[in-house]
Homo-oligomer: A and B are copies of this chain.
Amino acid sequence: MNTESPMHQMTDEEAWAFLGSHEFGRLAFHLAGEVHITPINYCADRGRLIFRTAEGNKLLGVTMNQDVAFEVDEFTETEATSVVLRGFAQTLEGDEADFADELPLRPWVPTEKHVVIAVTPSEMSGRRFDLQRPWLHQRTD
């Protein structure tokens, strides 16, 4: 009998490596007392997550309340990985914003996004899960 836990905590180093090797996640933010969530392209850079946005709810939300959460995940048939973090968002300006042009921050959708936001994590948790999904192998015939 396998009594090992199906959940494995990642080290901060492993979690950052995971964030650095991905570029798509979900940002959760406050907006007028509500919680909102949106998919975004990001880039991990020197302990922060950088993303671009246009004027809109996302920008309004993080301008009015910097408290945000962010999640990146990946799964295969046998393993799931998820890194979750909480932190604060701030709009970058001037040289800092210009610097974002040098980052490998590659929007998947070519719409105009002039505002650069940085999220600085205050807490982070990376976890790997051994999956039990026998139904993936079930035959229906």
Which range holds the interface residue count of chain A? 35 or more
Copies in the complex: 2
Q: A109, B131: Cβ atoms under 8 Å?
A: yes
B residues less than 8 Å from A82 (CB atoms):
39
Is A34 close to B, CB under 8 A?
Answer: yes
Distance in angstroms from A93 CB to nearest chain B CB is 24
- Once the chains are docked, how many angstroms separate the CA of A130 from the CA of B24? 15
Residue of B7, B70, B110, B135 near A106 (CB, 8 A) is: B135
- Once the chains are docked, how many angstroms separate the CA of A68 from the CA of B70? 15
- 26 A-B pairs, CB-CB below 8 angstroms? A6-B109, A6-B110, A6-B111, A7-B111, A24-B80, A26-B28, A26-B73, A28-B28, A28-B35, A28-B36, A29-B35, A30-B35, A33-B67, A35-B35, A35-B69, A36-B69, A36-B86, A39-B71, A39-B73, A80-B108, A80-B109, A108-B129, A108-B131, A108-B132, A109-B132, A110-B132
